[in-house]
Amino acid sequence: MTIVYGIIGLIIGAFTETWQGALFGLVAGLLCGAQLGMRRDIERLQQRLREVQQPPAEPAGTTPSAGPAPETAPGPAPEKAVAEPGWQHPDYLEPEVYAAELIVPAKGSAHLHDAAPAAASPDAPSPAVSDTAAMHTPGVFEKIETAVKRFFTTGNVVVKVGMIILFIGVSFLLKYAAQKNLFPVELRLAAVAAGGIALLVFGWRLRLRKRIYALVLQGGGIGILYLTVFTAARLYQFLPLGLVFALMVALVVFSCLLAVIQNAQSLAVFATVGGFLAPVLTSTGQGSHVALFSYYGLLNLGILGIAWHRAWRALNWLGFVFTFVIASLWGAKYYVPEFFSSTEPFLVLFFLFYLAIPILYAHRQPPELKGLVDGTLVFGTPLVGFALQSALVRNYEFGQAYSALVMGTLYLLLARVLWHKQLDGMRMLTESFLALAVIFLSLAIPLAMDGHWTAAAWSLEGAGITWVSLRQNRLSGRAFGLLLQVGAGIAFLAAIDLPHGYTPAFNSAFLGSILIGIAGLFTAYQYFVSRDMVRPFEQALHRVLLAWGLAWWFGAGITELEQFVADDYLINALLLYCALSVAALYLLGEKLA
């Protein structure tokens, strides 16, 4: 596995187009692989130590004996939890199949073989190692490591690594040949396109005999065709714009059809990665952002088309990351206000794509997974989209307020439509959209008044994430939502001296603080009703969050009254605010009872 990480580092370092960068990437990858290997060895030793320390369980109703073991009563043979000698883990499985396959330990896992006696009784208690393994929930980095290891250690590893190196090598070859004028441009592009078509045809012919090998070849061929068309249009202007879009649409439709027909998520991932990397690898720093974003729009249209037929979360997430990360990098380097009219439509288009994809993902789930929501896209899309939108409209008065109002209205309409449709398994998504509608409609008020919107947005977003994570019983999501609310409070206090308006009760400082308090009270209530389902150390959090929310609520009122009410009337105003607040809390408590 260390060698695999070294190869990955070498490939990443090669993007610097210098031998020093490639060497540094190789060394960094080897060191990373060695460190992960050492950690894995330590965990394995600790697990073996627990096995040794755990005394063997005695069957019920028997006493230890020094004599020979009694013969086992005839009956059905116990099931074996180990892989058969000729078993090989497939390179690709559907999500639900892969989840089922995880219960079968990989061939060669000696510590699992030792932990399960061959003739154990079906009623015998499970060994301690099984309990430990069942209690262990892999973290994000462990999942990433497992996915990388599975990609580079199962199936035809040589073909996979070779295809990655081939794709990167072709892109560098095109740039090098262009700089040195080694061959006629038409000949270079035709040769590369012919190679991509050959890979595609060869992969299709092998699809029934060597599925994994065939899918890798098809994905590489499609990626090379993407690269060739984009290079011909972007670097050399050989193809007219209309023909380029027609070819891109054809490639998108073709790759989607191949992936859906063969039920191959891996093919869709290969083709999508190749498509997104094509403009990055061939970029010269000059060119039209309209062409770039139009091309990415076509790729996302293909992802949307696949989402219509398959619930492939990895592909959806991949398109989301590539689209918004590359768009953000472009905006940070090249965006100027003059580009607003040619950039805003693409941001809206990408937002709508990844607003629709989670709906299709929830709708296409198999019956046993109905109700599952892709929280990354459901909450990540508005968070990233609104951040980019705020950057685009920062020079327009009330631009952020209008954006929040439009987004909130859109989510409210979607929640209403889904609620009336009463589709199976869509209730959780409907509630999530309703929560986002409340968040953005609430944000529109302080945004219209000015400042402190970041803290209020973080707090409301954190409340939404915590609520969904409580419904789905995800500890990491709850922790992130709570940290987001704490961070919102710190950010708000750090900006307390900034201008915030001079209208009593209708300024960003007061409304922002009130929104943070409401988010805290809402989260406290959700933790209270879920206190029997959360971890033991979380069961008292509703009291802490209640105090947090009330502190922001009363602190906002006291600070606002001290600023705008004359000293002669301040005490009366404070008493009135506290009395009305307590009355509202009492009525709310009666309703919730």
Give the pLDDT score at 18.
59
| Model pTM score | 0.49
Distance CA 456, CA 221 (A): 48
For 208, phi then psi, to 5°, come to -90, -25
Among candidates 555, 578, 494, 482, which has minimal Cα distance to 522?
482
Mean pLDDT split into 10-residue runs, the chain, 593 residues: 61 58 66 68 76 64 48 44 40 41 40 40 43 48 61 56 64 62 73 85 84 79 81 76 75 80 78 73 68 85 84 83 88 85 91 89 68 77 88 84 90 88 76 84 66 74 87 86 89 76 80 91 94 90 95 93 91 95 93 85
**Rounded Cα–Cα distance for residues 410 and 458 (Å):** 20
CB-CB contact of 451 with 495 (8 Å): yes
Residues 310 and 303: their CA atoms lie apart, in Å, by 10
Count CB neighbours of 420 within 10 A: 9
Residues 6+ apart with CB under 8 A from 268: 255, 256, 259, 306, 312, 315
Per-residue pLDDT, 168: 67
Please give the full DSSP string across 322-367, using - where no structure is assigned: HHHHHHHHHHHHH--GGGHHHHHHHHHHHHHHHHHHHHHHHHTS-G
The one-letter amino acid code at 403 reads S
On whether the CB atoms of residues 516 and 455 are closer than 8 A, the answer is yes
Residues 439/461, Cβ–Cβ less than 8 Å: yes
The predicted-structure confidence for 126-155, as pLDDT tens digits, reads as follows: 444 444 444 455 555 565 566 666 655 555
What pLDDT, on the 0 to 100 scale, is given for residue 346? 92
Task: Compute CA distances 167 → 66, 155, 226, 270, 461, whole Å.
Answer: 66, 19, 11, 11, 40
Q: What is the pLDDT of residue 161?
A: 63
* 498: helix, strand or coil: coil
> In this predicted model, what pLDDT tens digit does every residue of 211-260 receive, in sequence order?
777 887 887 788 788 778 877 877 777 777 678 777 877 887 788 788 88
Q: How far apart are the C-alpha atoms of 378 and 567, rounded to whole Å?
A: 48
For residue 474, give every residue at least 6 positions away whose Cβ sits within 8 Å of its Cβ, in sequence order, or none: 375
Percentage of residues in the chain having pLDDT higher than 70: 65
Per-residue pLDDT at 145: 62
**CB-based contacts of 472: which residues, under 8 Å, 6+ apart?**
373, 375, 428
Which residue in 246, 268, 247, 250 sits closest to 258, CA to CA? 268
User: Would you state the pLDDT for residue 256?
Assistant: 76
Please write the tens of the pLDDT for every residue from 415-463.
888 888 777 667 888 888 888 887 887 677 667 655 566 788 778 888 9
